[in-house]
Amino acid sequence: MRVLLFGATGTIGQATCKALLERGHEVVCFVRHKAGVNGPSSQSQTRELLAGAVVRFGDVQSIESVTNEGLQGERFDAFVSCMASRTGAPKDAWAIDYQAHSQLLQIAKQAGVAQFVLLSAICVQKPLLAFQQAKLAFEKELRESGLVYSIVRPTAFFKSLSGQIKRLQQNKPFLLFADGQLSACKPISDHDLGMFIAECLSDPAKHNQILPIGGPGDAITPLQQGEYLFKAMGKPPNYKHVPVALLDVIIQVLSMLGWFVPSLAAKAELARIGRYYATESMLVWDAQTMRYDAQATPSFGTQTLFAHYDQLLAGQANVQLGEHSVF
- Establish if 288 belongs to a structural domain: no
Write the single-letter amino acid at 77. D
- Establish if 299 belongs to a structural domain: no
- Establish if 317 belongs to a structural domain: no
The percent of residues above 90 in pLDDT, for the chain, comes to: 88
Number of domains in the chain: 1
Segments forming the whole domain that contains residue 190: 2-160+186-213
Instruction: Choose between 212 and 320: higher pLDDT.
Output: 212
Task: Reply yes or no on whether the pLDDT at 26 is more than 80.
Answer: yes
Tens digit of pLDDT for each residue in 271-297? 999 999 999 999 999 999 999 999 999
- Establish if 154 belongs to a structural domain: yes
- Establish if 13 belongs to a structural domain: yes
**Strand, helix or coil for residue 153:** strand
- Establish if 303 belongs to a structural domain: no
Q: What's the Cα-to-Cα distance from 137 to each of 110, 119, 132, 140, rounded to whole Å?
A: 20, 14, 9, 5
HSE at residue 193, side-chain half, CA atoms within 13 A, is: 33
Distance CA 267, CA 58 (A): 29
pTM for the whole structure:
0.94
- Work out whether the CA dihedral 211, 213, 219, 223 comes out positive or negative: negative
Mean confidence (pLDDT) of the chain: 94
Q: Which residues does residue 55 pair with via DSSP β-bridges, in sequence order?
A: 29
Q: How many CB atoms lie within 10 A of CB 92?
A: 18
Burial class (CB within 10 angstroms; exposed 0-12, middle 13-18, buried 19+) of 309:
buried
> Tell me, what's the pLDDT at 159?
92
CATH number of the domain encompassing residue 105 = 3.40.50.720
Distance CA 247, CA 239 (A): 18
Tens digit of pLDDT for each residue in 54-103? 999 999 999 999 999 999 999 999 999 999 998 888 899 999 999 999 99
> Tell me, what's the pLDDT at 324?
42
What mean pLDDT is predicted for residues 21-34? 94
- Establish if 291 belongs to a structural domain: no
Tens digit of pLDDT for each residue in 144-194? 999 999 999 999 999 999 999 999 999 999 999 999 999 999 999 999 999
> Tell me, what's the pLDDT at 326?
46
- Establish if 295 belongs to a structural domain: no
